[in-house]
Structure 1
Amino acid sequence: MYSTTDFKRGLKIELDGTPYEIVEFQHFKPGKGGAMVRTKLRNILNGRVVDNTFRSGEKVGRPDLEQRDMQYLYQEGTDLVFMDMVTYEQLHLKADFCGGKERYLKEAQQVSVLLYNGEPIDIEIPLSLILAVIETEEVAKGDTVNNITKPAKLETGIVIQVPAFVKVGDKVKVNTENDEYLGRE
């Protein structure tokens, strides 16, 4: 069990048999009564964000979550296939559970898979990845003075905006949370 004094961003709690992740929290004391904690919680199973207020000192459950290091193998229809690095057991996860993170997966990439009550529910990828540019437009000479960007297709199939000087074959660093170009490697 967790108490409201344990709350922090990213903490995973369980309410009414559903796992949530704390996105935001704020302690406050109204004019009358005891202190309270106002939170924004993300449902780990479906991604919805809900607001909830707890009384100070209130207890919440600890979800049965487990993280395992796995290797992404391939996509089979709408399923993503992973292999447990310890037991070599293969695991199928629906791509729509990943919330867009599957767009950054490359074959043989190591990821952390989140299991709830033994069932896979989410994957954890790094905040930034280095990916190769496989397709982009050439920019006219002299058109690099302005701060212009152009679309570039990366090796995983995702398209992001990159500066004009980036060309096919370059490796770029990408923020996986907002598909933003971070630099060239």
Structure 2
Amino acid sequence: MAKINGNEIRPGSIIDHDGGLWAAVKVNHVKPGKGGAFAQVELKNLRDGRKLNERFRSEDKVDEVYLEMKDQQFLYESDGKLVFMDSESFEQIELDADLLGDRRPFLQDGMTAAVRYYGEEPLAVTIPQKVTCKVAETEPVVNGQTASKSYKPAILDNGLRVMIPPFVGAEERIVVNTETFEYSERA
């Protein structure tokens, strides 16, 4: 852990504060007309998801924490737990499926995900930004609609609904952005 000043906190910084590990979600630097400058920081607890708004002055010292990232392969899901395997040591770990939130349907067997650790404790899982999925259901392709900028609804093989261009048909493979849940390109 490194000590940093309160005004050095940036979005994405992870700090040890108030007996827990917190990620800075939003940071707003304020310089009032009267008094000293401060950073208004929205924090999210990495262990239980609680949110907290905290004010840090520039002279406040906070402990910045660095999390180790390890690439791990997803094996399977069992009773709400996701099982990952370290590709070097072949150790298996179980994580709550809630860690992925609404991105859980994008996790595919054999996919490599980045698991962030604090010491030996896994805290977060990051899946690739773009994932290939198959279109399970959509309206049929209509000739002459390829030039328009309209989109049509589709249901993917993982059950998610996305909007796709009219020229993409059922059973085709597409690339979907896992952050925005939007069509990116044909696979």
Give the TM-score, by structure 1 length.
0.86
Question: How well do the aligned residues superpose, as a CA RMSD in angstroms?
Answer: 2.3
User: Residues 96-139 of structure 1: CA distance to partner in whole angstroms, max 9, x if unpaired?
Assistant: 12222222111111111122352223201222323332332314
Give how far 1:54 is off: 0.5
Unaligned runs of 5+ residues in structure 1 are: none
CA distance in 2, matches of 1:40, 1:141: 50
Equivalent positions of 1:1-185 (< 5 A) are 1-63=3-65, 65-142=67-144, 147-185=149-187
Closer, same or farther: CA 131–57 of 1 in aligned 2, 3 Å:
farther
Maintained 8 Å contact 1:12/1:21: yes
Closer, same or farther: CA 18–64 of 1 in aligned 2, 3 Å:
farther
When structure 1 is superposed on structure 2, of 117-126 and 70-79 the one drifting more is 117-126
Give how far 1:26 is off: 2.2
CA distance in 1, matches of 2:137, 2:16: 44
2:64 aligns to what SS in structure 1? coil
Question: How many residues align structurally?
Answer: 185
Query: Match for 2:20: what amino acid?
Result: T
Query: Match for 1:53: what amino acid?
Result: R
Maintained 8 Å contact 1:105/1:156: no
When structure 1 is superposed on structure 2, of 76-85 and 174-183 the one drifting more is 174-183
Give how far 1:65 is off: 3.2
When structure 1 is superposed on structure 2, of 43-52 and 139-148 the one drifting more is 139-148
1:61 aligns to what SS in structure 2? strand
When structure 1 is superposed on structure 2, of 114-123 and 32-41 the one drifting more is 114-123
Maintained 8 Å contact 1:72/1:82: yes
Maintained 8 Å contact 1:64/1:117: no
Query: Match for 1:183: what amino acid?
Result: E
1:178 aligns to what SS in structure 2? coil
1:167 aligns to what SS in structure 2? coil
CA distance in 1, matches of 2:46, 2:79: 23
Identity in percent: 37
Give how far 1:184 is off: 2.5
Give how far 1:58 is off: 1.3
Give the TM-score, by structure 2 length.
0.85
Query: Match for 2:27: what amino acid?
Result: F
2:99 aligns to what SS in structure 1? helix
CA distance in 1, matches of 2:173, 2:22: 36
Give how far 1:143 is off: 5.5
